[in-house]
Structure 1
Amino acid sequence: MRLQGAIFDMDGTLLDSMGAWRTLGSGFIRRQGKEPEEGLDRTLHAMSMEEGAAYCVERYGLEVRPEEISRMLYAEMEEFYRFQIKPKAGIERLLSVLKMEGVWMYVATATDHPLADLALEVSGLGKYFRGLLTCGDAGHEKDHPEVYEMALRRLRCRKEDTVVFEDSLFALRTAKAAGFRTAAVYDPSEPNQDAMQAEADYYIRSFEDWTQTE
């Protein structure tokens, strides 16, 4: 595919980290003596940590301040990113090739800045990117395209020659509706792989061996 720019999601796309996020909220709720709803962690992953904490307090009637929940969850993810994080298999080789070919790249993530910065540093992937934007920077979650549009403005690339790489269906649909070319990246945390493959311009089962969507 012809590329001028590339915008990558981080968790589940660049990094093999969705396993930690997948049980973060539900594990916390169970430790509070409550039974989490089905799909809670997927719901929380679409929110900022502060929004997710507030949601848990309201939804489960917790007697813990949202700020305290955010602090505990943040500490748990910080430890994971610092000591356990691994890049997706094959991603570093792809990023190296893209950079060598002159493709400008940016990260667009829902993860808070300090955690995202730490993850990219520890994983060794930060050096491939011209910058990082979070949904907090954009003022919207990924049900709105602003984080992608901001990244595009910073890259100064043509939208038609820029691909957004995402592992979640709702975010991929947001980018697609905004006029970006899209690459769906397989991650087991996303159950709707048939829709991902059908709707994306490219489908990547593995960065080590990926094929273009027909």
Structure 2
Amino acid sequence: MRPSLAGVGFIFDCDGTLLDTMDAWLSMEDTFASRVGGRIDSSMREALCTMTMPEEAVFLHETFGVGASPAELEAEIDEYFMSYYSERAEMTPGAGALIEEVRRRGIPCAIASSSPHAYLEAGLGRTGLLGAFTSVFSTEDVGASKRERKIYDAAAKSMKAVPELTWCFDDAVYALHAMKKAGFKTVGVYDRDTSGTVDQLRETADTTVLTLEDVDIDELLALQAAHLAASA
């Protein structure tokens, strides 16, 4: 008999987890920095990984002097990415099959992402994933970054799920730390070392996969049930 799904939910990051879009973000950062002779080093890349898009625009403007103002730079970035998500965004390996299986089982799922809401709807719509989600939350929707718990709580509430019964999937170590601190169960999904090495993901998350093709829903629900039994 399968475990009860009462209070259960799945929360997915988008970029680098469901959508293979991180190369586009890294390329954008490099392009704007190089426009004025700058270069993104490893410490900058690590910091940029945690930022919302408005924060990135401020960082690139203040660090390299790109754009007449952060607002002007953000508008230029926005124009590029709306086109990209609408016309070129693709799923990561295993994303389509996993979301279809989650939907088949009746497990509610939501999105929690740092990308602007319009990009999320465009990319998820293009790839056919959008209709599977109870809700789509961007950090701009909740007024807080993924370094804070607010976006995860909002996603869980939208599904009538509770943190200890909710699995969060993310490729970024900093986000996994925030999720765990807020009481959520976590799946580290490897994308690239700049988001988190495999070792870092394994040290942080409750379980880690190299791609979404490796996710075993029955195993996640069994781990969850065992944890609840042990803490009862």
Partner of 1:101: 105
- How many residue pairs are counted as aligned between the two chains? 214
Contact 1:5–1:157 (CA under 8 A) maintained in structure 2: yes
Q: Deviations over 1:130-162 (max 9, x none)?
A: 110111122111111110011111111122211
Query: Does the residue aligned with 1:13 lie in a helix, a strand or coil?
Result: coil
Q: Paired residue for 1:86, among 90, 113, 116?
A: 90
Q: Distance in 1 between matches of 2:39 and 2:110?
A: 38
Number of the residue aligned with 2:227: none
Moved more, 85-94 or 52-61: 52-61
**Cα deviations by residue, 1:69-126 (Å, 9 ceiling, x for unpaired):** 1111112222221222111111111111111111000001100111111111111110
Give the whole-Å Cα distance in 2 for the aligned partners of 1:80 and 1:41. Answer: 21
Distance 2:76 2:110 in 1: 29
- 1:53-92 → structure 2 map (5 Å cutoff): 53-62=57-66, 64-92=68-96
C-alpha displacement at 1:67, in angstroms? 1.3
TM-score if structure 2 supplies the norm length? 0.85
**Displacement of 1:181:** 0.3
Task: Provide the residue aligned with 2:226 in structure 1.
Answer: none
SS in structure 1 of the partner of residue 213 of structure 2: coil
The question of 1:200 aligning with 2:173 is answered: no
Q: Which structure 1 residue ranges, 5 or more long, are not aligned? A: none
Residue identity in the other structure for 2:136: L
Q: Distance in 2 between matches of 1:63 and 1:182?
A: 38
Contact 1:85–1:119 (8 Å) recurs in 2: yes
Kept after mapping to 2: 8 A contact 1:92/1:125: yes
Contact 1:25 1:40 in 2 (8 A): no
Q: 1:35 to 1:22 in 2, by over 3 A?
A: closer
Contact 1:23–1:41 (CA<8 Å) still a contact in 2? no
**Comparing both structures, which one devotes a greater share of its residues to helix?**
2
Aligned pair 1:6/2:2, yes or no? no
Q: Is 2:108–2:159's contact at 8 Å kept on the other side of the alignment?
A: yes
Q: Distance in 2 between matches of 1:190 and 1:36?
A: 15
User: In structure 2, which of residues 150, 161, 165 is the aligned counterpart of residue 157 of structure 1?
Assistant: 161
Separation (CA, whole Å) in 1 of partners of 2:107 and 2:211: 20
Report deviation, 1:38. 3.2
Task: Map 1:156-195 to 2 at 5 A.
Answer: 156-188=160-192, 189-195=194-200
- Give structure 2 stretches of 5+ with no counterpart: 224-232
**Distance in 2, Cα, partners of 1:191 & 1:35:** 21
The percent of aligned pairs where both chains have the same amino acid is 28
Hey, what does 1:132 align to over in structure 2?
136
User: 1:52 corresponds to which residue?
Assistant: 56
Paired residue for 1:142, among 141, 146, 149?
A: 146
Residues of 2 paired with 1:63 and 1:22: CA distance? Answer: 18
72-81 or 102-111, larger mean C-alpha shift:
72-81
Task: Return the offset for 1:63.
Answer: 5.5
Q: Deviations over 1:38-62 (max 9, x none)?
A: 3434422322222211122222234
